[in-house]
Structure 1
Amino acid sequence: MNVIVILAAILFLLMVMIGGKKGARSFIALFLNFGVLFLTIILMTDPHINPIVLTLLSSAVICSITLFYINGGNVKTVTAFISAMLTIVLLLFFIMAVTKHTSIQGFGEEELGDIGIFTLFVGVDFVKVTAAMIIMGTIGAITDVAISITSPMREIHSHNPSMNRKDLYKFGLSIGRDILGTNTNTLFFAFFGSYLALIIWFKDLSYSAEKIVNSKVFSAEAVTILCAGIGIGLIIPVTSWITAYFLAKQNKR
């Protein structure tokens, strides 16, 4: 516990020293978002609450905290919020279809040993829960890409107000291409880094490559990474178009 407090204090000091007031707000936003996630998980266990609706609501709250609480209300945060929510809605229904088709919901055989003494009839739709889990794992990256595109687009528009919508859109896409690879790799290593112990376990159990790929635990992780990558790729043109539309409309006014 003391180590966690020390690490949190170091993080807070670094964020305040580098980011000032915005860094302090970013640190507070971490705990606010954690609270939203924790509450979402608790409410998701209620069979009377639809996990999809709950995920959309919690995603909107998390996006609002990340964008408006840290950066304030302006054109870049509004367009980033709209872009992120639109992408999340499109991605959520796509993920539901993929999850149902690949049957990655629920628990794999490697996980049943620890929960075998409990009943699995909990009255929860695990397809929806799995789709919600994937969205929760990608919402941070989606929001990050959205604000990373809208911020420079707004900056270049302020220096060159005569830029038309098409040029602004192309500029947003060029920014998106620069950050697409790095964000995708970040997701890849973050997810697989957290499952490194599982991969070592597969090796100790002498799993063949075919059995590893077809195991539910590995397949669920692979689908999560690929869906997150699709979300990052999807939000780039969505954010570029919406931001270009808002900035061009602002010019006419």
Structure 2
Amino acid sequence: MRNLNLDPKYLLKRWGPPILLLLFFLAFVIWINQVDKTPLVSREGQTFEKAVVTEIIQDNLMPDGSRVGEQRIMVRMLTGPKEGEELETTSSSGYLFGAGCTVGMHVVVMQSIAGDTVINTVYTQDREMTIYIFAALYLVVLCLVGGKQGLKGALGLVFTFLCILFVYLPLVYRGYSPFWVAVFVCIITTLVTMYLIGGPTKKTVVATGGTVAGVVIAGFSATIFSIASGISGWNVSDIESLLTLWNVSGIQVGGLLFSGLLISSLGAVMDVAMSIGSSIGEIHAQNPTISRKELFKAGMHVGRDMMGTDSNTLILAFAGGSVSMLVLDYAYDLPYQQIINSNNIGIAIMQGLSGSFGIVLAVPVTVLLAVLLYTHEPAPASGKPLPELPEN
């Protein structure tokens, strides 16, 4: 028997339309990235170059292990106009900038050159390769443990990350609504990820529809919370910097908070939708005669088991991002009314609860969509049944 997966007609039917759509999407991405950025600060003559520490001229390490002031060190430049040269520079003792340098440490040097004058300072430890290695290890482990599905999941993850960089950011910078740009990105990434994992099946359609519905519900829940509580995207802690963007580039900074919520909740909602779609598909495949009512009840049982854990996952993720703020509030022993009514706490609560609304309400939407699709009988035409997507 001929292997269907190697049949040219099957391959063309399976991958032809997606590849064609991908080419159109790539052309769109290239077009939207043709944008001239308005410089916010002058960086003429300033570059960030790699270097390695060769000598500690004057250390700033105290007997108690703390660092005070600056280190004076010698570095050998690995990139830039001064590549290969030994230069004296400084490294501050700050936690955000600088590094506790040791001989042999690779660092990033902020370098300004004007004529014969060269000003250097250590910006931070060079951690670029560490990031690449850990990201690669994660993808390798995902592929080894998940097999073929793990590889597809890794491709979907990479595609999502690239969409945020090369679709979301350029469109927001062009002045489009961050909320609807986030919705667009969520739809595109969901379609691609679900198609990679599930192929052209009913399960993919169900999971995609449920994910998009859940994400949009999360966004509208946040909007309603914002109107009722008076919290908006203008209440974020870095609003001063964002106002500069608004004045210079026309970016709709007020919508960034809610668009970020959509992207943050995408993964959890996607997990719920795919799990429910897959479960209902399996139930229907094992018992094709099951009624819509019984199939809906079975799907809701599966969904209810997932609601609590996935909602907790999302709420704890947002809570984890606010731990530093909570510790400070606790240490200062701030009054309850001050804490509960602060903008930062309100934003964290809005993000956690709105995302959980999306997860919870995505369950009945996904179950209903799955029941309608799996139990749908295609109407005959010209004596022949209409083509139907496979269930799994």
Same fold (TM over 0.5): yes
- Cα distance in structure 2, aligned partners of 1:107 and 1:94: 18
1:23 positional shift: 0.8
Quick check: 1:226 aligned with 2:353? yes
Per the alignment, residue 206 of structure 2 pairs with 79
- Cα distance in structure 2, aligned partners of 1:117 and 1:138: 26
2:280 to 127, 130, 153: 153
1:15 positional shift: 1.2
- Cα distance in structure 2, aligned partners of 1:11 and 1:131: 29
1:127 positional shift: 4.3
Paired residue secondary structure (1:89): helix
Work out which of the two has the higher radius of gyration on C-alpha atoms and give 1 or 2: 2
Paired residue secondary structure (2:376): helix
Per the alignment, residue 318 of structure 2 pairs with 191
Structure number with the higher helix fraction is 1
1:118 positional shift: 4.6
Flag the 1:118–1:246 CA change in 2: closer, same or farther, 3 A. Answer: closer
Greater relative contact order (Cα < 8 A, sep 6+): 1
What residue identity is the alignment partner of 2:193? T
Quick check: 1:20 aligned with 2:147? yes
Quick check: 1:46 aligned with 2:162? no
The within-5 A match list for 1:195-214 is 195-214=322-341
Structure number with the higher strand fraction is 2
- Cα distance in structure 1, aligned partners of 2:331 and 2:245: 29
Per the alignment, residue 134 of structure 1 pairs with 261
Quick check: 1:34 aligned with 2:161? yes
1:28 positional shift: 2.3
Paired residue secondary structure (2:183): helix
2:365 to 228, 238, 244: 238
After superposition, the CA RMSD in angstroms is: 2.5
Flag the 1:186–1:116 CA change in 2: closer, same or farther, 3 A. Answer: closer
TM-score computed with the length of structure 1 as normaliser: 0.88
1:97 positional shift: 2.8
Report if aligned partners of 2:234, 2:253 keep a CA contact under 8 Å in 1: no
* Percentage of pairs with the same residue: 25
Instruction: Give unmatched runs, 5+ long, in structure 2.
Output: 1-127, 380-384, 386-392
1:71-105 Cα deviation digits (max 9, x unpaired) = 22211111111222233334433432322332322
Question: Paired residues, what number?
Answer: 251
The within-5 A match list for 1:94-173 is 94-108=221-235, 111=238, 115=241, 118=244, 121=247, 123-173=250-300
1:111 positional shift: 4.3
Flag the 1:230–1:40 CA change in 2: closer, same or farther, 3 A. Answer: same
Flag the 1:109–1:98 CA change in 2: closer, same or farther, 3 A. Answer: closer
Flag the 1:130–1:109 CA change in 2: closer, same or farther, 3 A. Answer: closer
Report if aligned partners of 1:67, 1:81 keep a CA contact under 8 Å in 2: yes
What residue identity is the alignment partner of 1:40? Y
1:108-149 Cα deviation digits (max 9, x unpaired) = 48546x749957646444443322221111111111100110
1:55 to 158, 177, 182: 182
Report if aligned partners of 1:100, 1:127 keep a CA contact under 8 Å in 2: no
What residue identity is the alignment partner of 2:168? T
Instruction: Give unmatched runs, 5+ long, in structure 1.
Output: none
